[in-house]
Amino acid sequence: MQDNKLEKNIGLFAALSTVVGGVIGSGVFFKPQIIFTASGGAPGLGIIGWIAAGIITIAAGLTMAELASMIPETGGMMMYIKKVYGEKIGFLAGWAQVVLFFPGLIAALAVVFADQFVALSGAAYLKIPMAIGVIILLALLNLIGSKSGGIIQNVSTICKVAVLIILIVAGFVMGKGNNGIITPVIGKGINPVTTFGSILLAIFFAFDGWINVCALAGEMKDPGKDLPKAIVGGLAIVASIYVIINISYLWVVPASQLAASAAPASDVATVMFGPIGGKLIGVGIMISVFGACNAYIMTGSRVLYALSKDGTLPKSDTLSKINKNNVPGNAIIALAILSCIFALSGQFNLLTDFAVFSIWIFIVLSFIGVIILRKRMPDVERKYKVPLYPVVPIVAIASGLFVLINLLFTNTLLAVGGIVITLIGLPVYAIGKKKLLKSNKSLESN
C-alpha cells in the first residue's frame, strides 16, 4: 500500500452519499427484536433510543472528523490512536478490529442471513451450515478480485433501498396505526437506565459505518466546510429513516410482536402482503445482508493486510501478501476462518454486542484524543474543528462511556471477554516487535 498524495476531488454530495449508503445495513431490519425485548415489549424507550443514538452518532462523527482532517492517513482510526497514544495502543486498536470487530460482525451478518433463510424455508437444521457457507462463498468471491465485490454491493444497495421504501410506504398505507408508538415507554419491573444502555448498544450496530466517511477527509475538496455537513446531514437522514421505519413497523404490528420475532421486517411484510409477499421482502433483505457481509470482508481484510505490513502480527509476511488477482488473499482467508469460528455460536445479537463493545473502547479513546491534541498541539493547522468544542466531544465521550460501563455491569462476561482478548494484543505486539528488531539488526549486520 502506498500513501501517495490524495487527489482532492470529493464534494459534499459524494461524502453525503457515502455516509447514508455506508451506514444503512442490516440493523434496521433485525434489531427491533432485541430492542423491544429489552424494553419489555413497550415501544417508547425503543423509539427514544433510535433518536438518541442518532444524536450521539452525529456528535461522534463530528468529533472524529477533526482527527481525520488532521491525520488523513491510511489506516483510519488505528492511525489516530497511534498518533495520540503511541504505537503500542495503535496496534491494539488494529488488533481489536481484526480479531473481534470485523470477524464478529461478519459472523453476525452470516448468522442473521441464515436466520432469515430459516424463517423462509423452515429448515432450522441448516442455520449454522448456511452461515458458514455464506462466509466461505464471500471469501472465495473476494479472492477472485474486487470487481465481484463491487457488483455485489451495487445489487445489495438497490435491494436495500427498495425494501426500505416498500416497508415505509406500505406500512403507513396498509397499517391500521392502532398500536402504541411512544406509550408505554417501558414494561413493568424493568430498569430504564440499564435497559437504555443495552438498547443504545444494539442501535449503535445499526449506525455502524459512520466512521468510514472520516477517512475521506484527505480527498475532500473542502473538508473544513463539507465534512461536518456530510456527517450531520448524512446521519440525520439515516436517523430519520430509522425512526420512520420503526414507526411504520409499529403502525402494522405492536412492539410485543416485534420483540417475539427473529425476523421482524419480514413478519411485518407478511402481515401486509401475505406469505408470498413476505417471502419476497425476505429475499430482498437477505440480499441486503449478503452485501453488508461482503463489505465487511472487503474492508476487514484490508485492515488486516495494513496491520500486517508493520511486521508485528504473527505470520505478517504471509498476511501481507497480494495474490495474482491483486487482492490480499491470505488476509481474506484468515479473516474468513476466524469469522466461521465466531459463526458457530449462532447468536446474532451476542456477536454484534461483542463487536460493537470492542470497537467503541477505541472510538471513545479517539474522542478523548481530540481534547488531548488540542492541548498538546494547539498551533497545528486544523482544516476542520469540531463545532461547539468542548461540548460536542464531551457528549460523545460521555455517551460512549455510558454504554461501555453499562455493558460491563449488565453483561460482565461479554465485556471482560472483549477486554481480555484485546489485551492479548499486548504480548503479541511485544513478541512481534522483538522479532522485527532482531530481523532488522540481522539485515544491518549483513
Task: Spell out the domain ranges in the chain.
Answer: 12-437
Confidence at residue 172, expressed as pLDDT on a 0 to 100 scale: 96
Centroid of chain to Cα 69: 21
pLDDT band at 2; cut points 50, 70, 90: very low
Query: Helices 87-96 & 412-423, crossing angle to 10 degrees?
Result: 130
Specify which residues 308 forms β-bridges with: none
pLDDT at 323 over 90: no
What is the percentage of the chain residues whose pLDDT exceeds 70? 93
CB 42 within 8 A of CB 276: no
More confident site: 76 or 276: 276
Backbone angles phi, psi at 131, to 5 degrees: -60, -45
Confidence at residue 274, expressed as pLDDT on a 0 to 100 scale: 93
Confidence at residue 219, expressed as pLDDT on a 0 to 100 scale: 63
pLDDT at 5 over 60: no
Task: Report the distance separating Cα 90 and Cα 111, nearest Å.
Answer: 30
Confidence at residue 70, expressed as pLDDT on a 0 to 100 scale: 83
- Assigned superfamily of 12-437: Amino acid/polyamine transporter I (1.20.1740.10)
pLDDT at 133 over 50: yes
pLDDT band at 3; cut points 50, 70, 90: very low
Q: Which of 246-250, 251-255, 274-278 is least confident? A: 274-278
CB 104 within 8 A of CB 357: no
pLDDT band at 20; cut points 50, 70, 90: confident
pLDDT at 212 over 80: no
pLDDT at 125 over 70: yes
pLDDT at 101 over 70: yes
Confidence at residue 6, expressed as pLDDT on a 0 to 100 scale: 46
What is the percentage of the chain residues whose pLDDT exceeds 90? 58
Confidence at residue 1, expressed as pLDDT on a 0 to 100 scale: 40
CB 400 within 8 A of CB 363: yes
Confidence at residue 441, expressed as pLDDT on a 0 to 100 scale: 67
For residue 83, give every residue at least 6 positions away whose Cβ sits within 8 Å of its Cβ, in sequence order, or none.
Answer: 67, 71, 90, 369, 373
For residue 35, give the C-alpha cell.
Answer: 430492542
Counting every residue, how long is the chain?
446
Find the DSSP H helices in 122-145: 127-144
Rounded to two decimals, the pTM is: 0.88
pLDDT at 163 over 70: yes
More confident site: 75 or 259: 259
* Cα within 13 Å of Cα(228), Cβ side: 13
Task: Report the distance separating Cα 305 and Cα 312, nearest Å.
Answer: 12
